[in-house]
Amino acid sequence: MFNKVEPKQLEQLSKRDRYLVESFHAVYRRDRRRQPHNGARKLPEPTEAQLREMLRFLQKKGVNINSIKELNHELRKVGQLLRDYDIWSSRGSPLAEPLENLNPDTGDYFESPELVDRSELERLEKLEQNELYEFLNQGVIDVLDEAIAQGLQEHIASVKKRPKYAPLAKKIIPAFRLLYSQSMSLRKIAEALGMGNQSKASRVLEPQKLLNQVRYLSLDKFYQLLLDKFQGVIEQERLSNNPDALREINQAIQDFVDAKVFEEAVAEINRSKNRSLNSLYAQRLRCHLENLEKRA
């Protein structure tokens, strides 16, 4: 249906739907013209690569569709609208029978009701779920690394502004290395680094405060990461004036980041005995401290 759409039919579509037709023409029809015709009446279905290229085309037009499955649904819907218009034009009135009973298997039609067969859709959906899972997990690590670097830098700067503790600011990095690499107590850290006593070391390091600051920064950075990736979805909720929907998104982000990083980090730092610091937060903090030592 897309291949023989007429200007009069396009006029009946919304701007968004016209862009969908344009994306199909720009990708699928272009590729068909480059291929030799074998005389088959039934056209092959769009490939995964073609669907992804259509998504990129639509993004440039300001149309945000987040998955191949969603694109397939949108194309199918527009295709049905075009078929409706074609049939109504020839009959002079809408059809009385359900559209699902039509057999659109003609030269330029996709096989109804699917643009892509169900097994292929399931495969693509699973692939996209895996890609999303990898994106989220890697995204958490990336924003955590950024938050640790920023949080630690801000913490040291804050200590330097306190005259009583400013001379100890240079001991913060080695002190955190002893805490997170050797699970050394604050009392032993104070003795090893000449920080006075446990109380003074605690007021200089404030590991719980640093953890809270890194969490705050991580949530903010992760939200921005998702906003950049799924701008259309989040923006729709924002413009819908639905505060509950936005709260649910924010809560889901917070729950995900806490489950991945901070629940374990808080639990381990609050243990007074047999403390083993192996949370993701502890691992990434150790990595950052080691990199700082190498650059020193």
Domain ranges of the chain: 2-116, 134-295
Range in 89-93, 126-130, 230-234, 263-267 with the lowest mean pLDDT: 89-93
| 237 has pLDDT over 70 | no
Indicate the burial class of 295 (C-beta count within 10 angstroms; 0-12, 13-18, 19 or more).
Answer: exposed
248 residue type, one letter: E
Query: Tokens standing for 237?
Result: 């909720």
CB 53 within 8 A of CB 71: no
Q: Give pTM, 2 decimals.
A: 0.58
**In the prediction, which pLDDT does 41 show?**
52
**In the prediction, which pLDDT does 279 show?**
92
Helix, strand or coil for residue 106?
coil
pLDDT digits (tens, 9 = 90+) for 138-183: 999 999 999 999 999 999 999 999 999 999 999 999 999 999 999 8
How far from the centroid of its chain's Cα atoms is residue 259's Cα? 17
pLDDT digits (tens, 9 = 90+) for 245-270: 667 778 888 999 999 999 999 998 88
Q: Which residues fall within 8 angstroms of residue 107, CB to CB, at 6 or more apart?
A: 41, 42, 43
- Which of 64-78, 140-154, 266-280 is modeled with the greatest confidence? 140-154
Angle between helices 198-205 and 172-182 (to 10 degrees): 100
Q: What is the Cα–Cα distance from 195 to 169, expressed in whole angstroms?
A: 10
| 296 has pLDDT over 70 | no
Per-chain mean pLDDT for the chain:
78
Range in 52-61, 62-71, 77-86, 89-98 with the lowest mean pLDDT: 89-98
Q: What is the Cα–Cα distance from 124 to 281, expressed in whole angstroms?
A: 33
Q: Which residue has the tokens 């600051």?
A: 213
E strand spans, the chain: none
